[in-house]
Amino acid sequence: MLTGETMRRTISAALLTLGLAATFTVPAVGTASAAGTSAPAPHLSHRIDRHASGDSNWGGYAVTGGTYRTVTGDWTVPALDCSATSGDISFWSGLDGWSSSSVEQIGLDAVCTRKGAVQYNPWVEMYPANSIYFTETVKAGDTMTSSVTTNGSGSFTLTLADPTRGWTKTYTKTLASAPLSSAEVIVEAIGSAGIPACPDFHQVQFSDVTANGQAFASAGTVNTTNLERGGVLLTQDGALSGTSFPVSWLHA
């Protein structure tokens, strides 16, 4: 049962309301410039939501049963088919959230902004803070790499990179109360009510999926979840094989 909740809105809301401090470090070689490192978030309501009625806005895998200090996940950015479907789908890796109210996560939203138009928005989030969105360019076919690491004493480092475009973003934050009870690599449907529309992303292939330096398949109790609305599957997880698995789109 997922009890966590996320809302990504704007960096100003996060900083002013919650008093959070964030720093970005950008390696000097082959990365994005310091200018334009963050941007207002789209006005979306983001949350983790799963119900016994057969609704779930998470697809992918989580591991539980231990204390998790690192998670990694890579994926190839899928091309969205926005000709018949709309909506916002997110790909990310993170710690916590499977059975806790905090989530430390970093990833990418892929949005059908209007018929036929696609927008890719990279972001980082430390729930209960709102998301911070980056302005770096991402396109279909790019390779994304992600990691979330903590020292176990409340300091977190969250990194997202696009080696295809040559940029890396690293975010550091302190959250002393994180339970570190799960690690996950997830496809999430984003929206403001119920289980929102799921745009056609065909399939996303995750690789280098690890927790605590171990292959996900052997890093604890393996949990699987699919996007689901009213008992109808919107996505289908493929088999988790060591450090890789696919998630396929089925239904809007």
DSSP secondary structure letters along 8-30:
---HHHHHHHH----EEE--SSS
Which residues share a beta bridge with 61?
Answer: 185, 224
Please list the helix, strand and coil fractions of the chain in percent, rounded to the nearest 5, in that order.
5, 50, 50
pLDDT confidence tier of residue 22, bands split at 50, 70 and 90: very low
Residue 40 has pLDDT above 70, yes or no: no
> What number is the average pLDDT over the span 160-185?
96
Specify the pairing of strand 245-249 against strand 203-211. antiparallel
- What distance lies between CA 164 and its chain's CA centroid? 19
What domains can you pick out in the chain, each with its CATH number? Answer: 11-249 (2.60.120.700)
94-134: pLDDT as tens digits:
999 999 989 999 999 999 987 678 999 999 999 878 899 99
* Angle of CA points 168, 150, 92, to nearest 5°: 50
Q: Is 77 exposed, middle or buried (0-12, 13-18, 19+ CB in 10 A)?
A: buried
> What number is the average pLDDT over the span 183-193?
88
Q: What is the pLDDT of residue 50?
A: 52
The whole model's pTM is what? 0.83
Q: What's the CA gap between 178 and 143, in Å, rounded?
A: 29
Residue 211 has pLDDT above 50, yes or no: yes
**Among residues of the chain, what percentage have pLDDT more than 90?**
65
Question: What does the block give as tokens for 152?
Answer: 């176990």
Question: What does the block give as tokens for 86?
Answer: 């709309």
Please say whether the beta carbons of 197 and 86 come within 8 A.
yes
